[in-house]
Structure 1
């Protein structure tokens, strides 16, 4: 049972790894019990060394990160300035990209065409409104509204006078 567990310690990532894993598993299965225990002990020691190196590297990295932060603080470089600089650089790179420039060109062309279409539509509407305004029907409506306004205005004066008299 132990041999099957050892062969499946990690899943192969590719067909080449699968073949290599199968060969390693076959070699390990061919070892005697003492040799298997010795291999496991060697691998455990190596794993402990590698984990210790990783922890040392993490400690050194943390120390270097703190030192860099201190230097940035002394230079007046804030996190906000770094983020702003990164964003500005990203925008600059984006604006310099060919995709952005092509898109901008297409949008500009589309905007000009749209403005031209809307311009012709609005000039047509303005022309129609102007024709309507100068029509006999519109003049008749304007006269009626003006007359009605004058009547309401006069009526309101009469009502105001009556309220003052009482």
Structure 2
């Protein structure tokens, strides 16, 4: 039964894998002791071959990575340049995307509408101020303020004139 548990350690837990593992465990349990030892020996040899292939691939990958780095250095391609190029390409892809273009269009339209609304508000305020300035009430206020100013100015002159004679 310990073989059933070790088989499950390397496989993801799913109903299909559980059924397959149970079937394999049942088949393995039905084997004779010699057949079980022979299977384990075969699996051990296959595991050793696979691990050797993995190590070989890692060595080849490391060698190819070093060679690529040397070539990049000779070509003047730095990590910074690669990152910059990747960022520029990413931004280009983003700007060419449908979502970005739709968003840009909506924002542009919204900006234009907002500017139009503010323009209308400003125009309305200017129009109202112009109407107020030309209204009869405003002329009356201007005349009153002008008259009061003239009165204060005249009074000030009288006060100065009187102070000369004291």
**Is the Cα–Cα contact under 8 Å of residues 132 and 138 in structure 1 kept in the other structure?**
yes
Return 10-19 or 51-60, whichever deviates more.
10-19
Q: 1:63 to 1:10 in 2, by over 3 A?
A: closer
The answer for the alignment partner of 2:134 in structure 1 is: 134
**TM-score of the aligned structures, taking structure 1 as reference length:** 0.70
Q: 1:71 to 1:4 in 2, by over 3 A?
A: closer
Q: 1:160 to 1:3 in 2, by over 3 A?
A: farther
Return 51-60 or 144-153, whichever deviates more.
144-153
Q: 1:126 to 1:61 in 2, by over 3 A?
A: same
Q: How big is the shift at 1:68?
A: 0.8
Question: Quick check: which has more Rg, 1 or 2?
Answer: 2
Return 90-99 or 8-17, whichever deviates more.
8-17
- Quick one: distance in 2 between partners of 1:149 and 1:40? 115
**Is the Cα–Cα contact under 8 Å of residues 6 and 25 in structure 1 kept in the other structure?**
no
**Is the Cα–Cα contact under 8 Å of residues 4 and 22 in structure 2 kept in the other structure?**
no
In structure 1, list runs of 5 or more residues that go unmatched: none
**Is the Cα–Cα contact under 8 Å of residues 4 and 21 in structure 2 kept in the other structure?**
no
The answer for the alignment partner of 1:5 in structure 2 is: 5
- Quick one: distance in 1 between partners of 2:74 and 2:158? 84
Return 135-144 or 14-23, whichever deviates more.
135-144
Q: How big is the shift at 1:35?
A: 2.1
Q: How big is the shift at 1:25?
A: 1.8
Q: Secondary structure at the match of 2:10?
A: coil
Q: Secondary structure at the match of 1:9?
A: helix
Q: Secondary structure at the match of 2:158?
A: helix
Q: 1:154 to 1:19 in 2, by over 3 A?
A: farther
- Quick one: distance in 1 between partners of 2:83 and 2:141? 65
**TM-score of the aligned structures, taking structure 2 as reference length:** 0.70
- Quick one: distance in 2 between partners of 1:135 and 1:26? 104
The answer for the alignment partner of 2:92 in structure 1 is: 92
Q: How big is the shift at 1:70?
A: 0.7
- Quick one: distance in 2 between partners of 1:159 and 1:44? 122
Q: Secondary structure at the match of 1:118?
A: helix
The answer for the alignment partner of 2:151 in structure 1 is: 151
**What's the Cα RMSD here?**
5.3
Q: How big is the shift at 1:90?
A: 1.3
The answer for the alignment partner of 1:38 in structure 2 is: 38
